[in-house]
Amino acid sequence: MRFRPCIDLHDGKVKQIVGSSLTDNSATLCTNFSSDLAPSHYAALYRRDNLHGGHVIMLGSGNEEAARDALAAWPGGMQVGGGITADNAVYWLEQGASHLIVTSHVFHDGRLNRQRLDHLIRLVGKKRLVLDLSCRWRHDGYYVVTDRWQQFTQLRISAEALSRLADFCDEFLIHAVDVEGKCMGIDTRLLELLADSAPIPTTYAGGVASFADVERIRLSGRGNVDFTVGSALDIFGGTGLRYQDMVAYHARLKNS
């Protein structure tokens, strides 16, 4: 279990938003925090504290320069996602990303598009890919959602699905969309499913409000699921968790 930091970018700035509120209608956007500091400030912080494997996410267009700024501050230290396609995959690796996070590009009409996924693997190799399987609960399980988390796919998170998809990537990134950005507590049911089923490194995101939630991730995930914290962190305007406490906790986990 590791703490994976994040840099979320919207309109060229580091922000924390409720992801499910991101639509074409800007009036619906719920912003928890907007920073006046450059993305490179946060990347340099993570580099100083040796927090490998975090992610830079471009939430919509107009974030390319900001993403380059973050990646340049720690070449090879962070992953990048948001609008990644076969056309720009190599470019973002050249900009310093350790991995490429892909989601909407490899789904079409609600189904996984193997042709697109295979093409990406030929371009950059599976060891440089992270599949974003962010999901929402519907009827009988958790289904992957795409297109700013507004569109349900037909892919239900299960042991069989995760085992199959693990052949095509190095890691999974999974936001619990129903609680993401709301600091209302984690989705323990999803965490237990991931702990039971994920055969490769997996990062959970969503709902962390306090250190008690971090401990619940450790227990529900049985130490097998990494985690990220956004809006609750003091460096993002939150009051639930101090960044330096997370750095110290991460160090204890590594040494245990």
User: Where residue 61 sits, what CATH number does that domain have?
Assistant: 3.20.20.70
**What is the Cα–Cα distance from 55 to 52, expressed in whole angstroms?**
9
For the chain, the domain total comes to 1
Q: Is residue 223 part of a domain?
A: yes
For residue 203 the two structure tokens come to: 């990062």
HSE-CB for 139 with a 13 A CA cutoff = 4
pLDDT tens digits for range 140-195? 999 999 987 889 999 999 999 999 999 999 999 999 998 876 777 899 999 999 99
Residue-range definition of the domain harbouring residue 249: 6-255
pLDDT at residue 28, as a whole number: 63
Considering the chain, what is the average pLDDT of its residues?
A: 93
Q: Is 85 helix (H, G, I), strand (E, B) or coil?
A: coil
Q: Is residue 161 part of a domain?
A: yes
Start-to-end CA distance of the chain, whole Å, equals 11
Mean pLDDT within 221-230: 94
Structural contact between residues 153 and 107, judged by C-beta atoms closer than 8 angstroms: yes
Q: Which residue has the tokens 């049985």?
A: 222
pLDDT at residue 21, as a whole number: 60
Q: What is the pTM of this model?
A: 0.94
Q: Is residue 1 part of a domain?
A: no
pLDDT at 58 over 70: yes
pLDDT tens digits for range 192-221? 999 999 999 999 999 999 999 999 999 999
pLDDT at residue 172, as a whole number: 98
pLDDT at residue 123, as a whole number: 97
**What is the Cα–Cα distance from 230 to 9, expressed in whole angstroms?**
12
Across the strands, what pairs with 176? Answer: 135
pLDDT at residue 134, as a whole number: 94
Minimum mean pLDDT range among 18-32, 50-64, 98-112, 168-182:
18-32
Q: Is residue 124 part of a domain?
A: yes
pLDDT at residue 97, as a whole number: 98
Q: Is residue 80 part of a domain?
A: yes
Which band of pLDDT confidence, cut at 50, 70 and 90, is reported for residue 32?
confident
